[in-house]
Amino acid sequence: MLRRRPRPPRRDRPTYHGPLEWVGAKVTLPVYITEGEPYRPQAIIWLELPSDLVIRWTLIDPTKPAPSFADTLRAAMRSPLAGPPRRPARIRVADQALAGEVSA
């Protein structure tokens, strides 16, 4: 009979109490949807640093109008996937167009 090796104790990340930064991006996912005409789906992702938590993600349906980048940020603040509703101290995005949407 096989004996299971005891698991090492779990090391939780230390709790960070400083200002939070959220990084937002519009990304093309590394998969293909092959139903119908093949395409690579896109998503909007909000990540919280330094914890590396995915705060919110939104899959973009190519057959419908894309959601506003700013609307996805507001939804992330209202209803994050982890933890209570909150506002980040800083927001970082990859380009000027996305920064313009968020600051408008």
Query: What's the predicted TM-score (pTM) here?
Result: 0.77
Does residue 91 lie within any of the structural domains?
yes
pLDDT number for residue 1: 59
Tell me the torsion sign for CA atoms 103, 46, 68, 98: positive
pLDDT number for residue 8: 65
User: What type of residue sits at position 103?
Assistant: S
pLDDT number for residue 3: 72
Structure-derived torsion over alpha carbons of residues 44, 78, 96, 22, reported in degrees to the nearest 10? -80
Strands 21-28 and 90-93: parallel
The domain containing residue 50 runs over which residues?
21-103
Q: In the predicted model, what is the mean pLDDT of residues 2-29?
A: 74
Does residue 6 lie within any of the structural domains?
no
**DSSP 3-state assignment of 37?**
coil
Does residue 78 lie within any of the structural domains?
yes
